[in-house]
Chains A and B, each alone.
Chain A
């Protein structure tokens, strides 16, 4: 069974600064996908960024980037130039090529003005 661990229940960052959210996972699969999802307060969950395990290059989407360490089974999210709209709960998720997605418990990020 796969497990996903987010060790930081809550984090805060000043506007315009950089913050890194941690995620580790455990699996025996070799091919899989990793995701970070964002759930703003009282709004629906949306995809932030996706990483394919077979790709060595770290995924980047504008201010969001990941540090994917396959051997260490680590998948952290870096948010640069934090904005007030980044305030949300962030979930790390694991998905094998077929089958259900497993989510971490989430990290509540607060961006302070």
Chain B
């Protein structure tokens, strides 16, 4: 079974631009979560999608948005990029329904650098 796939793996943007990151979950998984990982802040939860609906949301500004498609693939978008948005963005998938053990399966991440 294929794992969680994130694209692109690396990207460089400049301040003010926008970026879209993609995540394909493990087949059969309907929940996709996004996390921002930075050296100083650890793993910060962005949002979770289940069956095309945002089920949970973290404390990030409205510049961060996401969506999920009917095939469970998810995208996240960051608009008006700031230097502080430089981070590793991790996508994780899980079954999403009971029994929900909460175990997450992570992709390799998309490393965003904002210049």
Interface residues, chain A, with chain B CB atoms under 8 Å away: 32-33, 35, 37, 43-47, 50, 52, 91, 93, 95-106
A95 touches B101 (CB 8 A): yes
Contact A104 B98, CB 8 Å, known A44-B108, A99-B56: no
Which chain B residues lie closer than 8 Å to A104 at the CB level? 42
Task: Say yes or no for B45: interface residue by CB 8 A criterion.
Answer: yes
B22 at the interface (CB under 8 A from A): no
The 6 A-B pairs with the shortest beta carbon distances in the complex, nearest first, are A95-B102, A105-B42, A103-B43, A45-B106, A100-B56, A44-B108
Interface size on B, residues (CB 8 A): 24
Per-residue contact bits, chain B 81-115, to A (CB 8 Å; 1 contact, 0 not): 00000000010100000101111111111000000
Q: Is the CB of A44 within 8 A of B101?
A: no
Does B43 contact A91, Cβ atoms closer than 8 Å? yes
- Partner of B103 from the list A47, A102, A103 (CB cut-off 8 Å) is A47
Q: Which residues of the other chain, A, contact B105 by a CB distance below 8 angstroms?
A: 47
